Amino acid sequence: MSELTNIKSPRVKAARRLTKRAFRDRDRAFLAEGPQAVREALALDGVTVELFATAEAELRHPEIVTTANLAGVPVFRASGEVMAELAQTVTPQGLLAVCRFVHVPLERAVAADARLVAVLAHVRDPGNAGTVLRTADAAGADAVVFTDASVDPYNGKCVRASAGSIFHLPVVTGIPVGKAVPDLKDRGFRVLAADGTGRRTLDEVSLDGPTAWLFGNEAWGLPAELLALADEVVRVPIYGRAESLNLATAAAVCLYASARVHRQK
């Protein structure tokens, strides 16, 4: 296998431009970096377009390269300089895949038997968004909705923070909160807004039945007009002296509280 060494080659430039949202949207493709993300991307038929791997990464993860070859995914050996150009981490792990968009419409994401959905409203930090996506996956959620005011789920930091979970459960993107919430209610979901202004705490509300959790901005939470869309505003109880929880932690507490109740049924 010949090695890609020129960072200005058309193939490298085409992949590198996917670090920018405008090009991701145009090409309907994004980058998945690192062995975990690449492994999960390859597990989905037709998602991985091509794979870049350094010689060292091929030796460390031969099963990933073999899986790509068996799936007919083109594999390109990349020099360290090329990988550094493509990667968005300080210390690249030597594997990077170009992947097709995986999001689906809300009506496809939320099946008739769905019971738990996370809705990200005005979540701007990609690390937080990716962590919520990963947590929703771990909690057994049925879908994650990225509203149009939230960060792009295909942002490199978001993809990395999801640790492969972006490939595990249905993701909806670009839908307005004002459309997503009524649609979920029409499908039988009770919409709970996680916010410190809630009259009742997580310990005091019933979590039976299909539940959609609405999570707001890291700094200012959910504005009044979005709180008004929810069936109820719920706050996570603070038992110690901490002023609050960060977004990702609060989302984990809420999602797992719902998951525990649902798994007992």
50 and 114 co-located in one domain: no
Residue pLDDT, tens place only, 225-262 = 999 999 999 999 999 999 888 999 999 999 999 999 99
Considering 100, 132, 158, which residue would you say is the last residue of a domain? 100
Mean of all residue pLDDT scores within the chain? 95
* CATH number of the domain that residue 76 is part of: 3.30.1330.30
Tokens 């895949």 -> residue: 97
Query: What is the structure's pLDDT at 52?
Result: 97
The answer to whether residue 173 scores a pLDDT higher than 70 is: yes
The answer to whether 73 and 41 are in contact (CB under 8 A) is no
pLDDT for 164 beyond 90: yes
The closest alpha carbon to 154, from 21, 256, 57, 41, belongs to: 21
Q: How confident is the model at residue 54 (pLDDT cuts 50, 70, 90)?
A: very high
- Asked whether 168 and 109 are in contact (CB, 8 A), the reply is no
Does the pLDDT value for residue 118 go beyond 90?
Answer: yes
pLDDT at 135: 97
Question: What gap in Å lies between CA 128 and CA 30, rounded to an integer?
Answer: 19
Residues 238, 136, 179, 149: is their CA dihedral positive or negative? positive
Structure-block tokens of residue 45: 């038929």
Q: Are residues 93 and 207 in the same domain?
A: no
Tens of pLDDT along 63-97? Answer: 999 999 999 999 999 999 999 999 999 899 999 99
Same domain, 240 and 139: yes
Cα 49 to Cα 26, 31, 73, 101, 149: the distances in Å are 15, 10, 6, 11, 28
Q: What is the DSSP letter of 2?
A: P
Write down the H helix ranges in the chain: 10-16, 21-27, 35-42, 55-60, 62-70, 80-86, 106-109, 126-138, 156-162, 177-186, 224-227, 247-264
| Residues 90 and 113 placed together within one structural domain of the fold | no
Identify the bridge partners of residue 53 per DSSP, sorted by sequence position. 77, 95
How large is the average pLDDT for residues 129-133?
97
List Cα–Cα distances, 107 to 15, 129, 179, 184, 186, in angstroms. 31, 22, 12, 9, 11
- 155 and 174 in a single domain? The answer is yes
- Residue 174 sits in the same domain as residue 78: no
Last residue in a domain, options 52, 80, 100: 100
Examine the domain organization and report whether 55 and 166 are in the same domain. Answer: no
Structural contact between residues 25 and 151, judged by C-beta atoms closer than 8 angstroms: no
Model confidence pTM above 0.85: yes
Q: CA 225 to CA 111: how far, in whole Å? A: 28
Distance CA 243, CA 246 (A): 10
| DSSP string computed for 141-198 | -SEEEEETTSPPTTSHHHHHHHTTGGGTS-EEEEE-HHHHHHHHHHTTPEEEEE-TT-
Q: Are residues 67 and 20 in the same domain?
A: yes
Query: How far is Cα 82 from Cα 95, in angstroms, rounded to an integer?
Result: 11
Let me know whether 247 and 126 are in one domain: yes
- 137 and 65, same domain (yes or no): no
At residue 1, does pLDDT exceed 80?
A: no
Domain match, 80 and 118 both: no
CATH code for the domain of 248: 3.40.1280.10
User: Are 120 and 86 found together in one domain?
Assistant: no
Q: Which of 50, 79, 100 is the last residue of a domain?
A: 100
CB 234 within 8 A of CB 213: no
Domain count within the chain: 2
User: Could you tell me the residue range of the domain that residue 79 belongs to?
Assistant: 3-100
| Bridge partner list, 232 | 192
